[in-house]
């Protein structure tokens, strides 16, 4: 069994709504054994192009947990708020 990672590339468009979204996400992660690895702001683009200034990385114990979390009713209920708050690209990786 290997870890899976969710990487979110983010451009915040409404800080108030984004704060509300990020306040609610941790409760959706807990049942899936996920943990926030880090949130950060881009310092520089060293190669290529990246239109998003913010990033989040969340570790899950396995890919099935990441998929289960994303499909869960608890997280799906937050997607409209996320879409109002930011432009977000979510990617999953397995390590």
As a whole number, mean pLDDT of residues 49-56 equals 96
Where do the DSSP E strands lie in the chain? 4-12, 35-41, 54-60, 86-94
CATH of the domain at 23: 3.30.70.100
Give the pLDDT score at 90: 98
Give the pLDDT score at 46: 96
Asked whether the predicted pLDDT for residue 63 surpasses 90, the reply is yes
3-class state of residue 50 by DSSP: coil
Q: Which domain holds residue 78?
A: 4-43+51-94
Q: Is 43 exposed, middle or buried (0-12, 13-18, 19+ CB in 10 A)?
A: exposed
Give the pLDDT score at 10: 98
Asked whether the predicted pLDDT for residue 1 surpasses 90, the reply is no
Domain count, the chain: 1
Q: pLDDT digit string (tens) for 71-81?
A: 999 999 999 99
């Amino acid at each position: 069994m290997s870890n899976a990672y969710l990487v979110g590339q983010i451009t915040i468009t409404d800080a108030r709504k984004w704060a509300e979204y990020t306040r609610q996400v941790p409760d959706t992660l807990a049942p899936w054994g996920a943990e926030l690895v880090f949130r950060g702001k881009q310092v520089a683009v060293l190669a290529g192009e990246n239109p998003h200034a913010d990033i989040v990385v969340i570790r899950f114990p396995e890919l099935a947990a990441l998929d289960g979390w994303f499909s869960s009713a608890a997280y799906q209920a937050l997607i409209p708020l996320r879409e109002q708050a930011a432009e977000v690209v979510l990617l999953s990786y397995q390590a």
